[in-house]
Amino acid sequence: MHRHRISVQALSSFLTLALLMIVLGCGGGGGGGAAVPTYTISGAVSGDTLAGVTITMTGAAAASTTTGTDGSYSFTGLQNGSYNLTPSAPGYTFTPVALTSVTVNGANVTGQNFIAAEVPTYTVSGSVSGLIDEEVVRITLSGNPSRTVSTDSSGNYSFSSVVNGSYTVTPVAAGYTFSQVSAPVTVSDGNATGINFTATAKLSVTWKEYVLMTSASSAAGWRSRTLKFSDTNPAILFAAWSCLDSAGSTACPAAGALTWTSSSGIISESGASADADVHMTLTSTGNFIAGTGGPSTGPHHLRVALKVVPGTAYTNTYIQSKSFVFHEMIVGSSTMWRHGRGSTDGAGTVTLSSKTDPSGTITTPDTSWGTLNVDAGGMVTLGGIPTFSGFLADDKKTIVGTYTSGTTYRLMILQITERNDYPVGPLPASTWESSFLAKSTSIPIVGVQAGWIYCTNTVDASGNMTFGTDWTSSNTYFQDSGPTTPFTGNITSSGEVTMSESSSYNGQASHDWNFLVGTMTLVTTVNPVGTVTIYLLQVSTR
């Protein structure tokens, strides 16, 4: 009886365990459920562009893809739900702008298409004029992102692929101000042209100034000084130093005693220490000034100033083993011009190969100038001329200086000649602002005359140079002696300039082609005194 009860209990336990195993096997764990179905959304972009359009998907899932070469795209592995599709590509708009509530419900969704249209674009253009080397001007067009271009050699600039909208155009060039700081521009279904600026070089820099003075008598002299001006127009003198004149005076103008004012390209001078009737012009590079001044009673003067550029490094290597030309005016006990050629060796020793003055040319080698030296500040000396003091321009191509020789006083401009690629033939068409210091031989009735002259010279495409009606002189007789017919100018590959109508004229174009220095004898007739012979030193800027 007991055995029977045990067997029944064992069988009952076995059946219970088997049933439990069946239950657990069917409903427990995880491995045997059915997979969740997924689907695809697809479409295509047609129109002005196909490939590379970004399609962004949001909603039940987020993703992005790009269209293929045929414009097609697809998103795979999507579960049932609602989705949004948005196309984008720079320079294009789309129709529709977006597809919203694209519903996946148990099947793939196809035909989600867009049409692309290229956004029309236009140009924004203009030019920079005035006293500027146009190639250094940077023009910025606002936008996202902003864009910047440089003006070309004629001062023109242009931005392409500009869409409709409002913008700002801003010119920037170190050392210059502009007629407007920036210009607002609206592009509305068309090109925006004529966004122009006029540049003016700031006078708020330090200048090395060299002046030669003369008069109808033998009274003459020179002065040199360093002038620093404020960052305004008019520019007010901050300080002056290294002042010296041919009489030995080291007096400098006081701060505030000089003001330089620039207007329409002409610089005038005012203040307690100003010279009378000052008329100066500035090269387009903004680093070279030439001008005239002095009352009609004299003394009359010609001045040249070089900009001192902070951080410029100077060593003697810049002036050693070089060829050069020089032009100078001589006044005092003797009156004449002189020009010549020479070279320096590896130690800076100067040999003059030719010297020309109104009496003729000497080609006997001359080493009397001694050694040319420049210090770390750009100041230049000549070992054989103890009174010579000059300055080397920041481009290391021009030296301007003054000196005394016996009882004569001299202003010299020396140009290092390294270029051999000037446009050979007639002078290129251009406009120059010329400054002259002039002194005559004895004129019947009125005696020796002296004065300054300034005028505008216009050169046409054939090299014909006309002298403008603005010919102005501090001397009445010189005022009436301006050339009435054009001179024909020619230039060599090395930059030497001659005039067909004047065998005495000799000039040299600067390395940057922005100023011209020359000497000549002008023989003209002035009523009622008759023939007048005038010696001139000319410095022209553009």
More confident residue, 486 or 224: 224
**Residue 205 pLDDT:** 79
Q: Are 504 and 358 in contact (CB under 8 A)?
A: yes
Range with the poorest average pLDDT among 316-320, 331-335, 466-470, 512-516? 466-470
**Residue 462 pLDDT:** 92
Residue 154 lies in a domain: yes
Q: At 385, which amino acid appears?
A: I
Same domain, yes or no, for 432 and 500?
A: yes
Mean pLDDT for 384-390 is: 98
Residue 156 lies in a domain: yes
What percentage of the chain reaches a pLDDT higher than 70? 90
CA–CA gap between residue 268 and residue 275 (Å, rounded)? 10
Model confidence pTM above 0.75: no
**Residue 219 pLDDT:** 87
Same domain, yes or no, for 432 and 535?
A: yes
Same domain, yes or no, for 433 and 534?
A: yes
**Residue 203 pLDDT:** 66
Same domain, yes or no, for 73 and 138?
A: no
Q: What integer best gives the mean pLDDT of the chain?
A: 89
Same domain, yes or no, for 89 and 177?
A: no
Residue 378 lies in a domain: no
The count of domains in the chain is: 3
* β-bridge pairing 430-440 and 425-426: unpaired
Residues 166-206: pLDDT tens digits? 999 999 886 677 888 899 999 999 999 999 998 877 666 79
Last residue of a domain, one of 173, 200, 227: 200
Residue 530 lies in a domain: yes
Residue 144 lies in a domain: yes
Residue 347 lies in a domain: no
Same domain, yes or no, for 440 and 532?
A: yes
**Residue 528 pLDDT:** 66
**Residue 20 pLDDT:** 37
Same domain, yes or no, for 73 and 169?
A: no
Same domain, yes or no, for 73 and 158?
A: no
Assign residue 447 a region (left: φ > 0; alpha: ψ between -120 and 50; beta: otherwise).
left
What burial letters (b/e) apply to 103-128, b meaning 16+ CB within 10 Å?
Answer: ebeeeebeebbbebeeeeebebbbbb
The domain that holds 188 is classified in CATH as 2.60.40.10
Last residue of a domain, one of 200, 228, 252: 200
Residues 428-440: pLDDT tens digits? 999 999 999 999 8
**Residue 35 pLDDT:** 87
Mean pLDDT for 247-268 is: 92
Residues 43-65: pLDDT tens digits? 999 999 999 999 999 999 999 99
**Residue 187 pLDDT:** 94
**Residue 505 pLDDT:** 95
Same domain, yes or no, for 505 and 446?
A: yes
Residue 294 lies in a domain: no
In which band, very low, low, confident or very high, does the pLDDT at 116 lie, cut at 50, 70 and 90?
A: very high
**Residue 131 pLDDT:** 58
Same domain, yes or no, for 91 and 149?
A: no
Same domain, yes or no, for 68 and 95?
A: yes
Q: Which of the residue ranges 3-17, 19-33, 479-493 has the most confident prediction, judged by mean pLDDT? A: 479-493
For residue 29, pLDDT over 70 is answered with no
**Residue 12 pLDDT:** 46
Residue 367 lies in a domain: no
Spell out where 10-62 has E strands: 39-47, 54-59
Host domain of residue 158: 122-200
Q: Are 278 and 291 in contact (CB under 8 A)?
A: yes
Last residue of a domain, one of 167, 200, 233: 200
Same domain, yes or no, for 56 and 163?
A: no
